[in-house]
Amino acid sequence: MTVYKGYLKVMKKNIGLILMYLAIFTGVTVMFQVLSGNDSITNYRAESVKIAVIDDDGGSLAVELKNYLGQCHQVTVTENDRARLQEDLFYRNIEYIIRIPEHFFETCIAEGQKLEVTKVTGSYTAFYVDQQLNSFLNDARVYYTAGFTQEETAAALHGLKSIQVELLDTGGTVGEMPAYGFYFRYLPYLFLSVLCYVMGNVLAAFRRGDLPKRMSASAISARRQSLEGLLAAATMAVILWAVSILGAFAFYGKRLVECGGLPYYLLNSFMMVLTALAISYLVGMLVRGKSAANTLSGIVNVLSLGMCSLCGVFVPLEMMSKGVKTAAHFLPVYWYEVVNNLVAEFGNVTGEIRQTVLQGLGLQLAFVVALVCITLTISKWKKV
């Protein structure tokens, strides 16, 4: 096992680099969890908007409108002071202004005129209030069409509640990506960076000086040398994967153990480390010469940062354009992230989701096989 020990010896010299990337990975994971993970559940909660109401009518229907909006918003009745309202809107002391005109029932309900509003341009909260306001007015017009008076319409709309949404937690994720989902999202960056740097340095070290000639002249066959080299690389990959998984259990403990998608997290991350290993061997075959270190640094940065940026590691896939996602289909990290997002979203993987997850795992395996074939082809071509 001389070659195997030689590979491990070179790998030990890169232990500082490995620890550095582990620290970067941990820092990035914690940072993104703090910035993104804690706020995702708010997508399922009603937003409270600061609304100012100028009531020039004072009728029963105007009162019901204010009560309806006050169920989930901060409604303030104010005077029609244009300068003050503009200042409050500029400093976001209020976000939405409603002017209820005199003879509100006759003009806006009977005649169907629009209610005058002022809002922050492009604000999603403004569209939210628009929908609630239109819903109330449409209900009032229905009662008017049925022959109801203003008082009868107000009485019918009394106690009208906003739509309530109940989130069914069928996957055990309570409507948000679990914290360990973010942890597994960033694993490709760790795997690609560490394995490409380490394997690139190892393969470059075994091609320096007269070492290739001495290995060719040794009693150990070329096949045995290759197998021992692959065994050393696999050892490195498995150790890195095991440390990453132990880190996940150390961070999340019982929550991760009780997760229904745990087997898929483990399998998906293992497929990713195999993919990273295959990529690292290909990179190592291409890097050689006196400037190998500088060349390796450039290649690894482009590969790790570029692939992770395009495939949903640093930026969620749902935020990317259609063109970027189409191009990312041809990269293995994309399919890792697809599987990770599905497992994180649904928790318990069954039915069609399970088929999609298995498809993503299969595509990653196909990438591994293709990369190995390309590496072997290049290796044979260089020996000719």
Confidence at residue 222, expressed as pLDDT on a 0 to 100 scale: 66
What's the pLDDT tens digit per position in 86-129? 888 888 889 899 999 999 999 999 998 989 999 887 677 788 88
pLDDT of 376 above 80: no
pLDDT of 167 above 50: yes
Question: Tokens 């010469």 label which residue?
Answer: 289
Q: How far is the C-alpha of 194 from the C-alpha of 190, rounded, in Å?
A: 6
Percentage of the chain surpassing pLDDT 70?
A: 83
- The angle that helices 332-346 and 292-310 make with each other, rounded to 10 degrees, is 40
Q: How far is the C-alpha of 295 from the C-alpha of 302, rounded, in Å?
A: 11
What's the pLDDT tens digit per position in 206-235? 776 676 677 666 666 667 777 777 788 888
Confidence at residue 364, expressed as pLDDT on a 0 to 100 scale: 94
Q: Which two tokens stand for residue 42?
A: 């708010």
The answer to whether the pTM exceeds 0.85 is no
Q: How confident is the model at residue 17 (pLDDT cuts 50, 70, 90)?
A: confident
Give 40's Cβ-side CA count (13 Å radius): 18
For residues 233, 238, 243, 246, the Cα torsion angle rounded to the nearest 10 degrees is: 180
pLDDT of 45 above 70: no
Q: Are 341 and 347 a contacting pair, CB within 8 Å?
A: no
Q: How far is the C-alpha of 69 from the C-alpha of 117, rounded, in Å?
A: 14
pLDDT of 270 above 90: yes
| 178: nearest Cα among 26, 29, 355 | 29
Question: Tokens 């150790």 label which residue?
Answer: 239
Tell me 36's DSSP state: I
